[in-house]
Structures are given as C-alpha cells and as structure tokens.
Structure 1
Amino acid sequence: MTERHSFPEAPLCLTGQHVQLVPLSLSHEEGLREAVQDGEPWKLWYTAVPRPDEMRDEITRRLDLQKSGSMLPYTVLSLPERRIVGMTAFMSIDHTGPRVEIGSTWYAASVQRTALNTEAKMLLLSCAFETLDCLAVEFRTHFLNQRSRRAIERLGAKLDGILRSHRRLANGTVRDTCVYSVTAVEWPAVRTHLNWCLTEKYQTQK
C-alpha cells in the first residue's frame, strides 16, 4: 500500500528577519484589501489576484480548500512592523509523494523584488523539505508572466516543462502553464544559494 504522509491541518507559522507567514484568517481581510491596492496587481491580465471587493470571497475560498486538505494558505507580513503585504500558500498537496506547490502568491508593489520575497520562499521551501519531508516543490505560472518566471528561476527552480492550453482564464484566454520545481536532492544547493542572496540583499539595503 502507498504510504500517505501527514500534513498539518493548519499552516505552521514561519518567521524570518524580513517576513512572517501566518495562517490566513478572515480577520486579515482589511489588511489584505489595503495591500492589494498597492500596485493593483489584479489589473495584470495574466494573473488571478483578487480585487479589494473580492477579498473576503478569496479568503473564504482558500480556507475551504484548507478544510478539504488541498491547501495551507498564508497571510504574508512584513517585519518588524507586521504589516500585511500579501498572500501565499502550499497548494495542490499530494499526500502520497509527498509533494506540494507554492503558489496563489501576490505581494504589494512596495515589497516586490526585496529580501522579503526571497526569505518567504526560503521559509516555505525549508518547511516543505525539512518539516514536511517533501520529494519536490512545484511553482507554476503563466508562460507570458515573464516577471514571475524570472523570480522563480532566481530561486534556483528548474523548468520541468510547459503545459500547452492548460486552462481557460476568466477573461476567456487560454493559459500555457510553465511548471518549475526544486527537488529534495537539489534543496541543499538551493538553500545555500538563497542564504547567499539574502545576505547580499540585506547588506545592500543596509
């Protein structure tokens, strides 16, 4: 019989120097509404970011997926002020691998391309490989979302392939999905790389 690995029923709180990832809650709605207005990422046609007036429904959707066992959703806080700046999640949870995807991520424009995003991914990857014992972690994005693809590649993830005509978006267009991953074997080198990136970015910001 295939072994089924046990994932927590709720996200584990993850804390670094620049960022804290806390379990998503309806109490975060106002802060998330404010954060998403910084940069208005829902206007990018190739993304699926909630508008401010859609935030409660999006939080509820993610919490429902958590109840079903397929997602562990997070609210992203900027430290030290603990200001809400976005959302992310472990999703597409494969209990038999185990294997997860890091996705459904968006950030306020003011924290994009900062140490916060790198450290958030570092914390999630560390949790996936060192706590949840995953075989691999996936990242998926639209073929035409060049910013997202570059960010994923900077983490050290490798392109597994492209799912052609993968799914239809709300605007009627068809998405080709780029699938990237980091495997457990690759994780030590990726961890070293991310630690180096964080050190360099932190010194630069200082």
Structure 2
Amino acid sequence: MWPSPKKLPGSRVSLWPLTHGHAKALAQATVAGPFSPEGCKTPVRHDMTGEISYRLERQADGLSLTYAVQSRSTRWIGWASYSRIDRAHKKLEIGDVWLACLDPKSYNQTMISLLDHAFENARANTVQIKAVTSNTALRARIENLGASLDGVLRNEIIAKNGEPQDVALYSIIKTEWPEISKSICAKLL
C-alpha cells in the first residue's frame, strides 16, 4: 500500500493506523465537542463501527488511509486521512480531519505528521488540502502550514443546506517541503 500505514509519533499527538479497536474510544470522543473543519462530517456515536468499516474498505481498495489520533494524555481524540490517493502521480490529499479537542496545536501537529510522512516516507510529489472558501479560519491554518493556493473549485460541494459551495485547493510540493518543514516546526510547535 502507498503510503504505508505506520504509527506517526509526535510531541502533542500520535497517529495510529485506524482499526476497529478504536471504535469505543472514538465514539466517546464524539461527545467532547468536535473541532471539525468546515465540510467534515462529525461521526455518529452510535455508528462508529460502521464509520470505521467504511474507512477500512476504502483503505483496502487503495483509495484512502485513515489514522486514529491520540493526544499526549493517551486519549483518542479523532482521525485524519489521506484521501484521493494517486499512486501514478505520487499525489495525496489530506482530508476528513475530525478532532474532538479544541486545541489548534493538536490540529497543527496532526497536519505536520501527515505532511512529514507523505514527503519523507511515502516520497509524495504533491500533497493537496482543501477548504470551503467561506471558512477563513481553516484557510488561515492551511496557509500557516505553508501551503500555496492553487485555485478555487467553483460549486465543488453541496452544503448541508443544499447550496453549492466553492472550495479552495491548496498544495505543497516536495521541493518546497524541506524549507516549509523547518518553518512550520519552528513557529507552530
């Protein structure tokens, strides 16, 4: 599988390949008050096993790779995924980040761990990150990571209210990663 599922340790959070063994703890995390970027579906507590099964099926098909996120206090606080995996062009999208804690530093550490694994271990050429254009807070976080705005995908998704929404597409490429890595580790951790 590309990228390979392995533990991604960090100072604030650790990422573990998602398994059904995480279901109970992640169901409990849904009660904690989610910190979900716009467009991310908060999992339903009573169907956590179904959510995990869906993610593992996509992983088995080579379409995504989801990690359970564990806080420094060893509490399971959410998940984050590589989605839209394109092996031919060594391109990944980081998406579907759900964290039950309101700590932006946990979000930053999660993203840094995924970016580092994508470039350093999986040798990706490009990592993309999307955000609904109206979510200025998430867009600022993505830009603080050093991602460049590639453009806006018009009417890319349908919001819960049924209205189409534009999505900003950001990316980081492998030649930018060494400098970005130094910069974000210094300013965000």
Q: Same fold (TM over 0.5)?
A: yes
The Cα of 1:51 is off from its aligned counterpart by 2.6
Matched, 1:32 2:23: no
Give 3-state SS (helix, strand or coil) of 2:138's partner.
helix
Greater shift after overlay, 62-71 or 101-110? 101-110
Q: Which residue of 1 aligns with 2:89?
A: 97
Question: For the aligned residues, what is the CA RMSD?
Answer: 2.0
CA displacement, residues 164-196 of structure 1 (integer Å, 9 cap, x when unaligned): 011324542222111101111110111011220
Q: For residue 96 of structure 1, what is the amino acid of its counterpart?
A: A
Q: CA separation of 1:45/1:160 partners in 2, compared to 1, >3 Å: closer, same or farther?
A: closer
Q: How many residues matched?
A: 189
Matched, 1:113 2:107: no
Q: Which residue of 1 aligns with 2:15?
A: 21
Matched, 1:141 2:131: yes
TM-score of the superposed pair, with normalisation by structure 1 = 0.84
Q: Percent identity?
A: 32
Give 3-state SS (helix, strand or coil) of 2:32's partner.
coil
C-alpha separation between the residues in 2 aligned to 1:61 and 1:170? 21
Runs of 5+ unmatched residues, structure 1: 1-5, 202-206
CA displacement, residues 143-166 of structure 1 (integer Å, 9 cap, x when unaligned): 222222111111111111111011
Moved over 4 A (4+): none
Contact kept? 1:157, 1:181, Cα under 8 Å: yes
Match of 2:116 among 126, 136, 141: 126
Matched, 1:181 2:181: no
CA displacement, residues 105-124 of structure 1 (integer Å, 9 cap, x when unaligned): 011134x212x222222221
The Cα of 1:85 is off from its aligned counterpart by 0.7
C-alpha separation between the residues in 2 aligned to 1:23 and 1:51? 20
The Cα of 1:97 is off from its aligned counterpart by 1.1
Q: Which residue of 2 aligns with 1:204?
A: none
Q: For residue 124 of structure 1, what is the amino acid of its counterpart?
A: L
Contact kept? 1:46, 1:145, Cα under 8 Å: no
Q: Which residue of 2 aligns with 1:64?
A: 57
Runs of 5+ unmatched residues, structure 2: none
Q: Which residue of 2 aligns with 1:75?
A: 68
The Cα of 1:63 is off from its aligned counterpart by 0.8
